Amino acid sequence: MLILLSSCLHGQPDNISTGTDLGLIPIGGVPIDMSIFTFTDCNKYEPKFYDCSADDAQGRKYAFFHGGLARVSVDKNSASDGLRLPAGIQFGENIKSAATKMGATLGVKLSFGKSQDGTIVYASDFIVRSITGSTYSLELIADEKGRLVEVIERVNLP
């Protein structure tokens, strides 16, 4: 499975980064072939993908809301050995290093933060643009030792 790396495209507003996506389908998109999933609770006869989820063989988890892909994530424990993450980042590497690589590849700043439970997070604003035109945030999650354990792309849902 080849994951294309993100790149900035000319002609976009300064605050929007255009890139490719972590999953097999882009944020805002819908699958053409449901066989790409090893599990899904999406009704294949319901074209709207209003509220359902799916998993693929590489360990990625997909959430569909309001007719399109709203979230894709993969964590260290569920990822297959052959999964390649964008920008050359790897599970287990220093989270700050991974954020620097991903930010440089996307052309966006990933800001440091901590959740209420103390989890280290580096996240972008909702300024990364999918090939479908949907904007989303990229989030990198670390374990207690500051190592990358999860990558998330998600839209800003109300």
Q: Write down the domain spans for the chain.
A: 17-154
Who's near 118: CB < 8 A, 6+ residues apart? 144
Closest CA to 136 of 124, 145, 144, 148: 124
pTM: 0.84
The answer to whether residues 93 and 100 touch, using CB atoms and an 8 Å cutoff, is: no
pLDDT score recorded for residue 5: 28
- The confidence band for 10, taking pLDDT boundaries of 50, 70 and 90, is very low
Give the type of residue at 54: A
pLDDT score recorded for residue 46: 61
